[in-house]
Amino acid sequence: MSTTFWIQFLGIVFGLAMMYFTFVKFKRKELSNFEMMFWFAGWIILVLVAVIPSIIDFIIAPLHFYRRLDFFVVLGFFVLLGLGFYNYSIVKKVEKKIRTFVQNEALRQHEQEKNEQQKQQEIR
């Protein structure tokens, strides 16, 4: 069996497995209807390209890629870099929110302890 067959087979299995995991996440209410439909569309496109790779030739030909796999490698790098930057920016936002929350909580506890000390001094 050729390498192309195994790449196609793995693409199909991966796409179907990801559809299953997407559905499970949707059933657990971890994904909205829109998110589920978006991911399902992506996985269906992946399976279609794995089954019929020639359907993307209209994209590959004008870009002068010699092989379809070259196109996917370049596309994969772009997607990974974009997702990496997106994750970094989200982590920074969450980090800032946590820092603000912790600072506010520390100030609140400090004020609470200060008020308790004042009450105890008044009692004496």
Q: What is the pLDDT of residue 94?
A: 97
Please give the model's pTM, rounded to 2 decimal places.
Answer: 0.67
pLDDT digits (tens, 9 = 90+) for 108-124: 999 999 888 888 888 76
Go through the chain and tell me how many residues it has.
124
Phi-psi region of 7 (alpha: psi -120 to 50; beta: other; left: phi over 0): alpha
Q: What is the pLDDT of residue 70?
A: 87
Q: What is the pLDDT of residue 66?
A: 84
Question: pLDDT band at residue 69, thresholds of 50, 70 and 90?
Answer: confident
| Torsion (CA) 31, 35, 40, 42 in degrees, nearest 10 | -130
Helix (H, G, I), strand (E, B) or coil at 22: helix
DSSP for 95-118 reads HHHHHHHHHHHHHHHHHHHHHHHH
Residue-range domain boundaries for the chain = 1-51, 69-124
Helices marked H in the chain — which ranges? 3-27, 33-51, 57-63, 68-123
pLDDT digits (tens, 9 = 90+) for 13-66: 999 999 999 999 999 999 999 999 999 999 999 999 989 988 988 888 898 888
Return the sign of the alpha-carbon dihedral for residues 31, 37, 42, 43: positive
